[in-house]
Amino acid sequence: MMRKRTVALLVVAMMVLSSVLTLAVVNLPSFVQRASMGQGVLGALSGGGLNDQEKSKLSTVASLIESNYYQNVDESKLVDGAINGMMEALGDPYSSYMDTDTASQFSESIAGSFTGIGAEVSQDNGNVVIVAPIKGSPAEKAGLRAKDIIVSVNGEKLSGSDLNAAVAKIRGEKGSVAQLEVQRAGSKETMTFKITRDDIAMETVYARMTGDKIGVIEITQFSLNTAERFKQELTKLQSQGMKGLVIDVRNNPGGVLSVVEDMASQLIAKGKPIVQIEDRKGQRQVANSSGQSVDYPIAVVTNGGSASASEILAGALKQSAGATLYGETTYGKGTVQTSMDNLFNDGSLIKITIAKWLTPNGDWIHKKGIKPDVAVAPPDYYTVTPINTDTVLAYDMNNDNVKNAQIMLAGLGYKVDRKDGYFDRSTETEVRAFQAEQKLEQTGKIDAKTAAALEAALIKHIQDPQYDVQLNKAIAGVEKQVSAAK
């Protein structure tokens, strides 16, 4: 089942705010070692920290602010600000100080689990709609279904205009109860569900087999449980007689270093390098595969949203397992972070870049990314924005809304002869054809109804795997390798 594919048109939020771009080292050895030596972490820090003069300088500024600023100031905010400022001074977007809320989202993302009811929701016409309940979750057990509209949570009305705020209301601590008022298609009255929140494992691995026995595994991020899930799906595909494998890491922001090492080990010959880690002194450590190679061809599909651990996987499979890369150049994040969450006992967390990582051949891909072997550009309609229907679009108009409509029409296979925003006669003809197809009045103009139909048709089109040109190119490439090997 392919579930993740998102484009600008589709606003889908998991019940957790995921996608924290990172490559985390969990249980950093040297860090743990220090702690276990019976010293506090702080005592073991080799850096000197601030001297008295520097401390006094910072205190002076705080005092100056508190004495003069035209509004009252919360001193703890100044201290948080100072920490933020020190992290920002590094000029590294991956080193940051996270307050309690952000830190907890980050930790959930890394862990690949969160507490909630376990439903994926999206925004549709101002409503919060269930995309799907997660398998085995309280939401599924309670009987929530796809397309159910969540009207209110514990008496508080929801609005789709701010999906994050809605998600925050639905989520909560393990054991607490969410009372959901739900509108189901076909019934006039709303229904009420009482759901006890629980730990929910996020799905990060989606696998399927094509008719020609090519396995396709999509990995949405590298959370702590992802290597195990990958192993399950890989084993299943192999037992079904898989002849070739396509791994899809498009828009995968990364995750945990040890997890991607585990996963690469399942496909790379024992002893071959997966990744090199270079510390601040320039010393390199090579992580080698502890697993074995496979006897089928491998392809990896990447795009500009494939970052960090995704890039490690792509680089490792290319350079140590002969995999072919399809799609677009990757994001280009060649550093490793660790997070420290026990410094202040307030739930806050410091994430800091501690090393570079290099591909098996020693390339540092930071700010460059990895180029695909076979470049496949995404269709332009992947990034089209919804049509603003404040004014009805018609012949001779010329603006970005017309442009978006033209891109959508062309994406759906209509033969508009320009996609630059000028509403010419050909656009008019194709709008009429689309309206005929959709059984709408054939006005040749784009009003709110036609625009909504266009967007809905495009979303359906995008979700249909047969139109995924990047993935299909990779599948075709692997099929060709399979045939050639016969």
Per-position DSSP letters for 338-390, written without gaps between them: EEE-SSSSSS-EEEEEEEEEE-TT----TTT----SEE-PPPGGGGPPPPP-S
**Assigned token pair, 24:** 């985390």
Is 188 among the residues known to form the active site? Answer: no
Least distance between a second copy and beta carbon 279 (Å): 7
- Residue 18 vs 353, nearer CB to a second copy: 353
Binding residue (CB under 8 A) for a second copy from 65, 177, 456, 485: 65
Binding residue (CB under 8 A) for a second copy from 10, 11, 58, 459: 58
Neighbour-count burial of 421, counting CB atoms closer than 10 A to its CB (0-12 exposed, 13-18 middle, 19+ buried):
middle
Q: Where in 105-144 is the site for a second copy (CB under 8 A)?
A: none
* Residue 88 binds a second copy, judged by CB under 8 A: yes
Q: Which residue has the tokens 């990779």?
A: 474
**Assigned token pair, 21:** 């771009």
- Residue 21 vs 354, nearer CB to a second copy: 354
Q: How far apart are CA 168 and CA 312, in angstroms?
A: 33
Least distance between a second copy and beta carbon 397 (Å): 8
- Residue 77 vs 367, nearer CB to a second copy: 77
* Residue 69 binds a second copy, judged by CB under 8 A: yes
Q: Are strands 254-256 and 12-13 parallel, antiparallel or unpaired?
A: unpaired
Is 289 among the residues known to form the active site? Answer: no
Binding residue (CB under 8 A) for a second copy from 66, 156, 380, 464: 66
Least distance between a second copy and beta carbon 336 (Å): 8
* Residue 422 binds a second copy, judged by CB under 8 A: yes
* Residue 332 binds a second copy, judged by CB under 8 A: no
User: How many residues at the interface with a second copy, by CB under 8 A?
Assistant: 64
Helix (H) or strand (E) holding 121: strand 119-124
Q: How far apart are CA 166 and CA 447, in angstroms?
A: 29
Least distance between a second copy and beta carbon 28 (Å): 9
Residue 158 has a CB neighbour count (10 Å cut-off) of 23
Q: How far apart are CA 233 and CA 469, in angstroms?
A: 24
* Residue 335 binds a second copy, judged by CB under 8 A: yes
* Residue 67 binds a second copy, judged by CB under 8 A: yes
Going by C-alpha positions, the residue among 85, 86, 84, 118 that lies closest to residue 102 is 84
Q: Rounded to 5, what percent of the chain is helix, strand, coil?
A: 35, 25, 40
Q: Which one from 243, 272, 318, 333 is the annotated catalytic residue?
A: 333
Q: Where in 250-309 is the site for a second copy (CB under 8 A)?
A: 279-280
Q: How far apart are CA 402 and CA 388, in angstroms?
A: 9
Is 308 among the residues known to form the active site? Answer: yes
Q: Which one from 18, 95, 96, 337 is the annotated catalytic residue?
A: 337
Residues with active-site annotation: 308, 333, 337
Residues of the shown chain interacting with a second copy in the complex, contacts defined by CB under 8 A? 42, 45-50, 54-55, 57-73, 75, 77-90, 92, 95, 97, 279-280, 335-336, 338, 340, 343-344, 350, 352-356, 398-399, 418, 420-422
